Amino acid sequence: MGTYASVRYSMVAIWLHWIIAILIIANIVIGIGHDPLGDMIPGVMNIHKSIGLTVLVLSILALLWRLMNIPPPLPTTMSKRLKRVAAIMHRLLYALMIIMPLTGWIMSSAGPRPLNWFNLFDVPKFAVARGDAIVSIAGTHGLLGLIFGALVIGHIGAALWHQFVRRDNLIARMA
């Protein structure tokens, strides 16, 4: 299928990718729908925060892994422009995988409720208060979540485009 002889990411990278992807999609859904979901699922915001903290830790691990392990090359049939777009998209995704949980953590730190990870242990809060400049900046969390969701949809769309339109089997790198 296609012209690209697949070279796969390592199993560590593949597992981190899919676990983080599932958690991010779940958290975007929870973040957007937390009001109606809160009526159905007690503690939905604690689940959202716990998933966010998990994404933060796993994303740092994934970033470190990627820095220490060269990713497989993109197909030679891809234009330089398309390769640049892919590089920018990946950088934006990595940035948001770290910025999103941090902004949520900062906002939670300024709030009165305790912060814990799946009710298993407390997570230390940052020494911030409502009205602090950093908390105001972190208030962009919701807007960033919508941007993140759009980038995730774009990433999925690009993978499907490569698979079914270009037929270059690029998706096999992460399968």
What's the Cα-to-Cα distance from 164 to each of 82, 94, 142, rounded to whole Å?
Answer: 17, 25, 33
In CATH, what number is assigned to the domain containing residue 122?
Answer: 1.20.950
Among the listed residues 94, 54, 55, 51, the one whose alpha carbon sits nearest the alpha carbon of residue 71:
94
Query: What pTM was estimated for this model as a whole?
Result: 0.92
pLDDT top residue among 6 and 156: 156
Domain count, the chain: 1
Q: What is the pLDDT of residue 64?
A: 97
Q: What is the pLDDT of residue 6?
A: 52
Does residue 23 form part of some domain? Answer: yes
Most distant pair of Cα atoms in the chain: their distance: 56
Pairing of strands 116-117, 121-122: antiparallel
Does residue 37 form part of some domain? Answer: yes
Sign of CA dihedral 96, 69, 168, 84: positive
Does residue 38 form part of some domain? Answer: yes
Q: Taking CA 39 as the corner, what is the angle to CA 38 and CA 40, rounded to the nearest 5 degrees?
A: 90
As a whole number, mean pLDDT of residues 147-162 equals 96
Q: What is the pLDDT of residue 36?
A: 81
* Token output for 150: 């759009």
Does residue 1 form part of some domain? Answer: no
Residue 1 has pLDDT above 60, yes or no: no
Domain encompassing residue 157: 11-174
Residue 46 has pLDDT above 60, yes or no: yes
Does residue 5 form part of some domain? Answer: no
Q: Which residue has the tokens 């908390």?
A: 135
CA 167 to chain centroid:
26
pLDDT top residue among 40 and 108: 108
H or E element in which residue 156 lies: helix 141-161
Mean pLDDT of the chain: 93
Does residue 3 form part of some domain? Answer: no
| 105-147 residue pLDDT tens | 999 999 999 999 999 999 999 999 999 999 999 999 999 999 9
Does residue 106 form part of some domain? Answer: yes
Does residue 4 form part of some domain? Answer: no
CB 101 within 8 A of CB 55: yes
What's the Cα-to-Cα distance from 74 to each of 14, 28, 58, 162, rounded to whole Å?
Answer: 16, 29, 24, 11
